[in-house]
Amino acid sequence: MSIAAVLIVKNEAEHLRACLETLGWVDEIVVVDAGSDDATCAIAREFTDHVVVEDDWQGFGMQRQRAQTLVVSDWILMIDADERVSPALRASVQAAVGEGMPAIYTVSRLSWCFGAYIRHSGWYPDRVARLYPRGRAGYNDALVHEKLENPQALPVRPLQGDLLHYTYRDLRHYLEKSAHYAQAWAEQRAARGKRGNLAAGIGHGIGCFLRMYLLKAGFLDGRQGLLLALLSAHSTFAKYADLWVRTRTAPPPEDGAAGR
């Protein structure tokens, strides 16, 4: 049974080569680029001829849908450019596919963040569904936080070994990605008719901190755990604040009367 590694990317020149170097064992690599203006596509073409540019961005879910339709192999392994397949995970993927039993397989992601691997804080094992038989499962069309759907009720099984995740370069990168996700989340909620509430944002933010740092033992991750809990609380509040601004605040007067 053949395996395709599938990536959706944009401006990932910093990470992409290291990622693709851990995928030399697959039968097919498909890269869908969202309009990079760096060397992402050139690097991708060093490893595969199957590089497609789809720059009319419609969200993560739609981009993954596009990518999976380009696959001809029997199995799809969905990977992000800032991830690396460990040798143990590679062996587990090959063994699972070799069994020939249709199933959805989850992987555990081990994230490197702010100078340390995060093994608590609710970040590990952070199981995500990434390996599935082509045509038997697929991604929804969510703008962000897309999910792999299982319409045929295939069994869901865990793989052994870690998917190493090099998630943030620095604090600025974290804040930029957080702002992007908050915007997409708020847009999605507003489109469904939801309205924002600052009190809810405060409550969810505090709850996020307590859950990560205490209930999920983030304190065992040291200073990185404390920083992540604080940043996650801020990001949670920002989502609700963005939704509140979109749905509860008035636009400026068109005649500029307030300025006179």
Is residue 127 predicted with pLDDT exceeding 70?
yes
Going by pLDDT thresholds of 50, 70 and 90, the confidence category of residue 154 is: very high
Between 233 and 248, where is the model more confident?
Answer: 233
The pLDDT score that the predictor gives to residue 257 is: 60
Percent of the chain with pLDDT over 90: 83
The pLDDT score that the predictor gives to residue 148 is: 96
Tens digit of each residue's pLDDT (9 = 90 or more) over 132-141:
999 999 999 9
Tens digit of each residue's pLDDT (9 = 90 or more) over 44-74:
999 999 999 999 999 999 999 999 999 999 9
For residue 78, give Cα distances in angstroms to 106, 130, 131, 212.
11, 5, 7, 27
Q: Residue 170 and residue 258: Cα distance in Å, rounded?
A: 41
Is residue 76 predicted with pLDDT exceeding 80?
yes
Q: What domains sit in the chain, N to C, each tagged with a CATH number?
A: 3-166 (3.90.550.10), 171-248 (no CATH)
Lowest mean pLDDT among 53-57, 140-144, 175-179, 231-235: 140-144
The pLDDT score that the predictor gives to residue 256 is: 60
What is the largest distance, in Å, between two alpha-carbon atoms of the chain?
75
Mean pLDDT value of segment 186-204? 91
The pLDDT score that the predictor gives to residue 259 is: 57
Query: At a CB cut-off of 8 Å and minimum separation 6, what does 115 contact?
Result: 224
Query: At a CB cut-off of 8 Å and minimum separation 6, what does 30 contact?
Result: 4, 5, 6, 7, 48, 50, 52, 67, 70, 71
Mean pLDDT value of segment 127-151? 93
